Amino acid sequence: MLHSLIQLLNLLMSEVTLKKLAGMLQLSISTVSRALKDHPDISIETKTKVKELSVLLDYEPNTFAINLRSNHCKEFGIIVPTITNDFYQSFISSLENEVRQYGYSLIILQSGDDPIIELANLKLCKQNRMAGIFVSITSKTTDINNFLKLDEHHIPVIFFDKVPSFEACNKVCVADEAAADMAAKELMLKKKKNILSIFGNPELLITQKRLKSFEDTVSGYGLSTQLYIHYALSSDEAREITMNSFKKVIKPDAIFCMTDEILMGVMKAIQQLELRTPQDVGVIAISDGFKPTLYYPEITYIETSGFKLAKLAFARMLACLGGSSYAQELRIESIVVSGGSL
Amino acid sequence: MLHSLIQLLNLLMSEVTLKKLAGMLQLSISTVSRALKDHPDISIETKTKVKELSVLLDYEPNTFAINLRSNHCKEFGIIVPTITNDFYQSFISSLENEVRQYGYSLIILQSGDDPIIELANLKLCKQNRMAGIFVSITSKTTDINNFLKLDEHHIPVIFFDKVPSFEACNKVCVADEAAADMAAKELMLKKKKNILSIFGNPELLITQKRLKSFEDTVSGYGLSTQLYIHYALSSDEAREITMNSFKKVIKPDAIFCMTDEILMGVMKAIQQLELRTPQDVGVIAISDGFKPTLYYPEITYIETSGFKLAKLAFARMLACLGGSSYAQELRIESIVVSGGSL
DNA sequence: AAGCTTTTCGCAAACGTTTGCGAAAAGCTT
DNA sequence: AAGCTTTTCGCAAACGTTTGCGAAAAGCTT
């Protein structure tokens, strides 16, 4: 009696392991291991004894040992330029919820839009033998061979949002062309004639796709619509572009904002100019859907949901882990959310 | 020659390990291990041979094995109600940058403001033997014993922002009282008489502290200032409160917003009511600093920087890992950022 | 009752590191 | 040249799991 009490005390001092459980129960480690996993070789009596003690002592298997044995862990990495962005935020939030349901964890890695750091993060994912990674590349990433190499190591790589143009890889995107097309159609329906069109970084594939689609749709209508195309790399640049546009003789009757960031700059300018939407100028954006609700009237936007995209990305990841090897490009459809600003 | 070529091919097929390196170099595993770590026992010639081959074959130590051996890993967990919040976003972004510099990774765990999930996340951190965790508790978390238990397992716990009232734990906060006090002073300086004061969840310690300090400061001035105290749990509630307040006979001449979320609702109401700041109504907020720049004129706010708080939290974490055991409550000072809305 | 099958468990190796200790070889002392 | 120190390396155990295989005990068959 005293003896087992001392044993118990010793146990409470340190970590509970299979070996300790086995020692107390006078069983072998393998039997304890199998009992806890309901292996058919073990008798009911032994199983209950083992399980009772393991609950009593709050036994928790050592993840490190399990990882070493199985040579993989239940962690995903996500590499983004920065998490301070509504779209990524909702993507990450949604993704974290998904992976948790499946017993995985999510490690965030910011590249700061720097390919060097991106590469370092990638290496970390490889070294930590992550179960898979999600990547939104930097605007300067040209070489994606390092990403493809991970695929060889059986670490699936899912690109999302900002994806490389290379074809043989897994990509999930919002409907770039379709979203720009929808925005253009909305503007045409309202018979807008002078449209200030502000796009993001022209080096990104997403910008090029959206611009082309936008222009094509507008010219497809064959109306005498004038597009004033600008690129803004920041909210502040968008604000200045807007301010300058309204100093001109021909003032825009509508503004198209390719991103939330641009929308923010545009709206600030509109407040500064004391313009009213939609009377003085119409506004439409492509957005995750949060920023447009900040204004009154709410901004009409084409929704590109980070939440939905994360679900799609995770589904694709599961498929890859399940053995689906051939690369796919998936996209989610957009919808128009009318807010009264157009 | 052919023999070593075959060896090389075999190696490229599978993972490179110390054993494989040792086999190719006709050395023992221990010698290879020590050579790579510049152990003084190993000769220069051996070291260079080992290192050259390891670079050639792109050897990367197996993290799982290292973790098992050392019984700890280089990962921190961060548990927050949700990451979709400017303050947490900048906190996490900043924290990720910090931990990366020190070779750590960051795992995000959202509780969804649910104590059950929070507990599950906590257990995960314990099971994965994380190096330490950062926690902002849910509004319903009452029992923090489970957190304290981690401390016994030598996993430091740093509470931030939403912290428990229990004293003997590590806490880093923004200057709750001081921030509310500063906001009150700004309002008094502008001689505001009817102040709509909207606070967050009244169950949170942070709300209680700010409210008390705010009221104390205002009454300390001894002026005939009227405070209209309200609580808003969402942006939309704040909007409605504001809308209703301006339907009253006595209209507010200033609005105090305890959080970004509240500010957003208030500003939307202001746009809807077509009021101008600061002429028609003054606005001041406690904020991380991003949202206030969205409006024109920019909102005057008391800065509670997530960036700075993250740096402080990480410094405290490092101290804990370094052996500092006694619990501390740390806070960062706030500053007033004038934007022209008051 | 002898031989067979089933039940129940333990041995031992393996995953890839790190590290205390010992031992051989080399260089040094007097 | 014998004994000593230094240099250089390998053996073996350990971290905590999982799992193939074998073996003892028990129950069954005819």
Interval B230-281: pLDDT, tens: 999 999 999 999 999 999 999 999 999 999 999 999 999 999 999 999 999 9
> What would the two tokens of residue A68 be?
């070493």
CB A256 within 8 A of CB A302: no
Distance CA B267, CA B260 (A): 10
Statement: residue B312 has pLDDT above 60: yes
Please state whether strand D lies within 7 Å of residue B50 at its CB atom. Answer: no
> What would the two tokens of residue A118 be?
């991106």
pLDDT tens, position by position, A220-242: 998 889 999 999 999 999 999 99
Residues of chain A neighbouring B96 (CB-CB closer than 8 A): 83, 108-110
Please state whether strand D lies within 7 Å of residue A12 at its CB atom. Answer: no
A268 touches chain B (CB under 8 A): yes
Would you say the CATH fold of A176-303 matches that of A73-174+307-333? yes
Distance CA A61, CA A178 (A): 49
Q: Rounded to 5 degrees, what are φ and ψ at A109? A: -135, 120
Among B64, B90, B296, whose Cβ lies nearest the Cβ of A64?
B64
- Comparing B325 with A317, the larger pLDDT belongs to A317
Number of cross-chain residue pairs from A and B with Cβ atoms under 8 Å apart: 108
Domain ranges of chain A: 2-61, 73-174+307-333, 176-303
Q: What confidence category does residue A166 fall into, taking pLDDT thresholds of 50, 70 and 90?
A: confident
- The DSSP bridge pattern shows strands A170-174 and B194-199 to be unpaired
Residue B284, strand partner residues? B256, B300
**Å separating the CA of residue B36 from the C1' of nucleotide C25:** 23
CATH of B2-61, one of 1.10.3470, 1.10.260, 3.90.79, 3.30.1070: 1.10.260
Q: Which of residues 35-94 of A touch strand C (CB under 7 A)?
A: 41-46, 65, 68-69, 71
Name the average pLDDT for chain B. 92
H/E/C letters for each residue in chain B?
Answer: CHHHHHHHHHHHHCCCCHHHHHHHHCCCHHHHHHHHCCCCCCCHHHHHHHHHHHHHCCCCCCHHHHHHHHCCCCEEEEEECCCCCHHHHHHHHHHHHHHHHCCCEEEEEECCCCHHHHHHHHHHHHHCCCCEEEECCCCCCCCCHHHHHHHHCCCCEEEECCCCCCCCCEEEEECHHHHHHHHHHHHHHCCCCEEEEEECCCCCHHHHHHHHHHHHHHHHCCCCCEEEEEECCCHHHHHHHHHHHCCCCCCCCEEEECCHHHHHHHHHHHHHCCCCCCCCCEEEEEECCCHHHHCCCCCEEEECCHHHHHHHHHHHHHHHHCCCCCCCEEEECCEEECCCCC
Which of A17, A18, A59, A63 to mutate to test binding with chain B, by most B CBs within 10 Å of its CB?
A63
Specify the pLDDT at position B13. 61
How close is the nearest chain A Cα to the Cα of B128, in Å? 6
CATH top class, domain A176-303? alpha beta
**Å separating the CA of residue B36 from the C1' of nucleotide D1:** 40
H-assigned helices in chain A: 2-13, 18-25, 29-36, 44-56, 63-70, 86-101, 115-127, 145-152, 176-189, 205-220, 235-245, 260-272, 306-321
Q: What percent of chain B has pLDDT over 90?
A: 80
> What would the two tokens of residue B172 be?
């880093």
Cis (ω within 30 of 0) for the bond into A297? yes
Among A93, A268, A272, whose Cβ lies nearest the Cβ of B83?
A93
Which residues contact residue B123 at a Cβ distance below 8 angstroms, ignoring those fewer than 6 apart? none
Collapsing DSSP states into helix, strand and coil, what is residue A96? helix
The mean per-residue pLDDT over the stretch A290-306 comes to 93
Nearest to B291 by CA among B245, B337, B334: B337
- The DSSP bridge pattern shows strands B300-303 and A335-337 to be unpaired
Chain D positions with an atom below 7 A of a protein C-beta are 7-12, 14-22
Specify the pLDDT at position B175. 86
How many other CB atoms are found less than 10 A from the CB of residue A282? Answer: 20
Contact between chains at B294 and A67 (C-beta distance less than 8 A): no
The torsion defined by the Cα of B203, B208, B210 and B216, in degrees rounded to 10, comes to 150
Helix A176-189 with A205-220: angle, nearest 10 deg: 30
Q: What confidence category does residue B167 fall into, taking pLDDT thresholds of 50, 70 and 90?
A: confident
Which residues contact residue A165 at a Cβ distance below 8 angstroms, ignoring those fewer than 6 apart? A205
Q: What percent of chain A has pLDDT over 70?
A: 96
Question: What architecture does CATH give domain A73-174+307-333?
Answer: 3-Layer(aba) Sandwich (3.40)
The mean per-residue pLDDT over the stretch A308-320 comes to 95
Specify the pLDDT at position B7. 52
Q: What confidence category does residue B153 fall into, taking pLDDT thresholds of 50, 70 and 90?
A: confident
pLDDT tens, position by position, B170-188: 999 988 889 999 999 999 9
Question: A47: which nucleotide lies closest, measuring CA to C1'?
Answer: C8
pLDDT tens, position by position, B47-104: 999 999 999 999 999 999 999 999 999 999 999 999 998 899 999 999 999 999 999 9
Q: What percent of chain A has pLDDT over 90?
A: 80
Instruction: Specify the range with the lowest mean pLDDT, choosing from A286-290, A333-337, B148-152.
Output: B148-152
Q: Which CATH superfamily is domain B73-173+307-334 in?
A: Response regulator (3.40.50.2300)
Residue A229, strand partner residues? A197
